[in-house]
Amino acid sequence: MPENKVNTLITDSPQEAARILLRGGLVIFPTETVYGIGASAFHHSACKRIYDVKKRPMDNPLILHVENITSLRVCALVETEGDLVFQKFSPGPITGIFPKHNQDLFTAGLKTVAVRIPSNPTAREFLEACGVPVAAPSANLSGKPSLTKLEYILEEFSGKVDCILQGEEPRIGIESTVIDFTEDPPVLLRPGFVDQKDLFSVLPNLRILNTLDEIAESPRSPGLKYRHYAPSCKVVLADSLQSAPQSVAQIGFTFFLNSIYQVRVSSNEEYMKFLYSFFVECDRRKIAEAWCEIPKEGRGREALLNRISKAVAK
C-alpha cells in the first residue's frame, strides 16, 4: 500500500504522540541510539504498517520498547542472566531476546521477543504515557542507514507516518547491543555501545559470533542476515586515509584539506555518533565512494567494524 497521503503531526508533546499511538497510529520518536518508528505492540495491523512504510521484509521481527523492568517482565520471561544484564545496563542501549510471556504481543510469528528500555528522556516520557509496549525498528527505509537527526526523519517520513515526536536527539548514533538469552550460554547477536568487555563482567560465558558470515547464517536473528546500514555509494574500510583519492568522502581521525567531504572524529564514541549521518550526507551529495578509517582499539571498535563491514559487503 503506498504511504504518501498521511497527515503527519510534528509535536514535542510525548503525551500527544502517545494518544496517536494508542489510537493505532505510527509515531517516530528519538531514542539514545537512533530514531525508532513505533506502533502499539498490541495493535497488529499498525505493526504491519511499519513494514509497509519501511519496506521491511516480513520475517524481520521488531524490538519492543518499555519504560521499566516491571513492564519488561510483562512481555518476556526474564531469568537470572537477563536480569543481571538489565539491572546493570538498563535503561540504556541494550536489547534482550527472551521467551515471549504475553501471547497478544506482535512478534512477527516468533515465540521469542526482543525488548529494550531506552534511556533517552523523550523516549522515556513517551513510553510512560503510552503504557503499552511499543514495537519499533529503527526509523529508516529497509537497507538504508538508521537515522540519527530530526532533519533526516522529516525528509524521509513526512507524509508517511501519523506523528513525529521531537525531543532529545540520539547521542550514541548506532543501534543497541542485542543479546539472545534464549540460548545457553547467551549469544551476542549485535555489538553496540555496551561492549564485550562490559558484558563479560556480568556474563563471563557470553558467546560471541565472530564473523559477519557466522552472524548472517545464524537462524537466531532473522534481521541480521540482511546486509544493511549502507548508503548507495561504495564503502571502503581503510587502514589509513593517507592514500585516499581526493574524489572520495572520508570519515576518520585524520584531517585532509583536499577531500570533497569529510567528517573528522577524535574518538570511537564520536565515530559511532557520526557514522550514519556521514552515510546519509554521502548519499545527499551523490558521492561515489566513502572511505571509513579503521576505528581505534577499545570501546566502540567491534560495533563500528560490524556496521562498516555490513556497508562494505552490500
The total of other beta-carbon atoms located within 10 Å of residue 298's CB is: 12
Confirm or reject binding of residue 110 to ligand TXA (CB under 6 A).
yes
Does 187 participate in binding ligand TXA (rule CB under 6 A)?
Answer: no
In the stretch 137-166, what mask flags binding to Mg ion with x, by CB under 5 A? -x----------------------------
Question: CA–CA separation, 127 vs 278, rounded Å?
Answer: 29
Binder to ligand TXA among 90, 122, 221, 250 (CB under 6 A)? 221
For 139, which DSSP code?
S
**Which are the contacts of 30, defined by CB distance < 8 A and separation ≥ 6?**
36, 120, 122, 123, 150, 165, 166, 167, 168, 169, 170
User: d(Cα 108, Cα 112) in Å, to the nearest integer?
Assistant: 10
| Nine-digit cell string for 185 | 550460554
**Binding residue for ligand TXA (CB under 6 A) from 72, 97, 135, 235?**
97
Map residue 260 onto helix, strand or coil: coil
Examine residue 61 and tell whether it contacts ligand TXA (CB under 6 A). Answer: yes
Considering only 54-62, 154-162, 196-204, 238-246, which stretch makes contact with ligand TXA by CB under 6 A?
Answer: 54-62
CB of 229 to Mg ion, least distance (A): 8
Closer by beta carbon to ligand TXA, 116 or else 273 = 116
Bridge-partner residues for 10, per DSSP?
164
Tell whether residue 306 is a contact of Mg ion (CB under 5 A): no
The full length of the chain comes to 314
CB closest to ligand TXA, residue no: 223
**Is residue 134 involved in binding ligand TXA (CB under 6 A)?**
no
Q: Is 85 in the site for ligand TXA (CB under 6 A)?
A: no
What is the distance between the alpha carbons of residues 30 and 170, in angstroms, rounded to a whole number? 6
Beta-strand pair 63-65/134-135: antiparallel
Q: How many residues bind Mg ion (CB under 5 A)?
A: 1
- Residues at the contact surface with ligand TXA, assessed by CB under 6 A: 31, 33-34, 36, 60-63, 95, 97, 107, 110, 112-114, 116, 136-138, 175-176, 178, 220-224
Q: Which residues bind Mg ion (CB under 5 A)?
A: 138
